[in-house]
Structure 1
C-alpha cells in the first residue's frame, strides 16, 4: 500500500491504542502516542499532533470530579514551573537532530516504565512539598519540552502527596493539561507548531476518544494490574528501539 494511504491508518491506529491505554490505566495517551509516532516522524511533529487529543482527554479527566480550585491552590508552584520548564525545553525538541531527540524520548520512556514497574512507595510531608513542588515542576517541564512526555517525575511525585484516588486522578489531569498547553505554546514559539497541523490533531481526537471508551470497557474485564505490566514492558521495548537508533 502506498505511503500516503498508510500514514492516516498509522495515525488512527496510534491514537486508538493510546486512547485505549488511557481508558484502562487513566494515563499514558501522550506517552504511547509519542513513542509510536516517534518511530515514523520527528518528535517535534509528533508532539504537535498530540496537542488536541491530549488536551481534550485530560480536560475531561480534570473536570470529572469535584471543583479543582483547591488543587490549583495547592499545586500552583509546580504548575507554574512546569510551564517555564516546558517552554524552555521545547527548544531542544525543535532544534536537536530528530534522531537524538528520539533518543531522549526513548530514555524517558524506559526511565518512566522502569520506575513504574518497581514503584517504590514513598510519602512527601507538607513541609517538603512546599520546597519540592517548584523543583519537580521545573524538571517535569524540561523533560516535557525536550521529549513530549509529561510523566516524569510529576506522576510519582503526585502519587507521594497522600491524596485520595479521586484527587490523584484530578491532579494528573491538571498536571497533564498544563503540560499540554505549555508544550503547544513552546512549539508555536519555536515555529514547530503550524496552524495547518490543527486539522490533523483535531481529527486524532476521534480515535483517541473511541480508544478511551474501548479501554474503559476492557478495564471491567481484565486485571488492570496485568494490563499495566504489559503496557510498561511495551514502553520499555519502544524506548529501547528509539534510544538505539542513533547508536546503530
Structure 2
C-alpha cells in the first residue's frame, strides 16, 4: 500500500497535468511522466498515465467529424506507431530504467526546444507515406520505452500542414491508440499490476478536475504566454531527468 504522501503526489501531478491540457489542449502525458518518473520511477509513471491519458484523449479523437478521413490518410503512420510499441516495451522490461529515464529526459528537452524555437517542418505530399512509416516505427518504439508519444509523432503531424481542428483530432487518435497499445504490451510483460491500474483509474478524477479548471483559465490567460511558460517548464524537468540519470 502506498503512503499518503505518495498518493497526494499522484493526485497533484494529474491535477497539474490536466490543467495544462485544459489550457492548451495537450501535455498531460508529458507533464505526468516528467514529474512521476523523477519521483516514483519510469515504469510506475508509465502505468499511472494509462487511464487518464486514454479517457481524456478519446473525446479528442472522436470529436471533429474527420475521424474516417484522418484514419484513411494516416493509417500507415498510425498502424506502425501502434505495432512498434510492443518491441519498445520489450526493451523497457529488459533495460535498466536509469537509461530509459535519460532517454525520456532527452526527448522532453528536444520537444521543448523544438516548440520554443517555433520550428516547423513542411513535408511534401509525395513523401508523406514513407515518412509516416519511419516516424511511426520510431514513435512507437519510443512510446514503448519511455511512455512518451510526442516525438516524432506530433512533429510529423504538424509537418503535414493539417488544419488546427484536424491536427488536434489526429493527436487525439495517435495518443489514444498508442496508449492502449502501451497498456496491453505492459500487461503482456507483467509490468502492469492490479494496484498500478487501480491507481491509474483513481488518477482520472484529479485529471478531469484539472482539465475543467484549465478550460476556465483559458479564457483569462494568454495562450501564447502560457505555452511558452509550459515549454520552459518542460525544458527544466527534462534537464533534471537527464542530470539525475547521468548522476547515477
TM-score, structure 2 as length reference: 0.95
In structure 1, list runs of 5 or more residues that go unmatched. Answer: none
CA offsets 1:173-218 (integer angstroms, 9 cap, x no match): 0011111011112211211012332211111111111111111111
Q: Secondary structure at the match of 2:81?
A: helix
**Inter-partner Cα distance in structure 1 for 2:70 and 2:83:** 19
1:92 aligns with 91
TM-score, structure 1 as length reference: 0.95
2:66–2:166 Cα contact (<8 Å) kept:
no
2:23–2:215 Cα contact (<8 Å) kept:
yes
Deviation of residue 108 (structure 1)? 1.0
2:239 aligns with 240
1:24 aligns with 2:20: no
In structure 2, list runs of 5 or more residues that go unmatched. Answer: none
Deviates more, 1:78-87 or 1:9-18: 78-87
2:33–2:45 Cα contact (<8 Å) kept:
yes
**Inter-partner Cα distance in structure 2 for 1:92 and 1:17:** 30
1:92–1:101 Cα contact (<8 Å) kept:
no
**Inter-partner Cα distance in structure 2 for 1:232 and 1:159:** 17
**Inter-partner Cα distance in structure 2 for 1:210 and 1:176:** 20
**Inter-partner Cα distance in structure 1 for 2:186 and 2:234:** 24
**Inter-partner Cα distance in structure 2 for 1:120 and 1:101:** 26
1:62 aligns with 2:64: no
**Inter-partner Cα distance in structure 2 for 1:123 and 1:106:** 26
**Inter-partner Cα distance in structure 1 for 2:182 and 2:95:** 16
Listed as ranges, the matches of 1:1-248 within 5 Å are: 4-248=3-247
1:43–1:93 Cα contact (<8 Å) kept:
no
Aligned-pair RMSD on alpha carbons?
1.3
* Count of residue pairs the alignment pairs up: 246
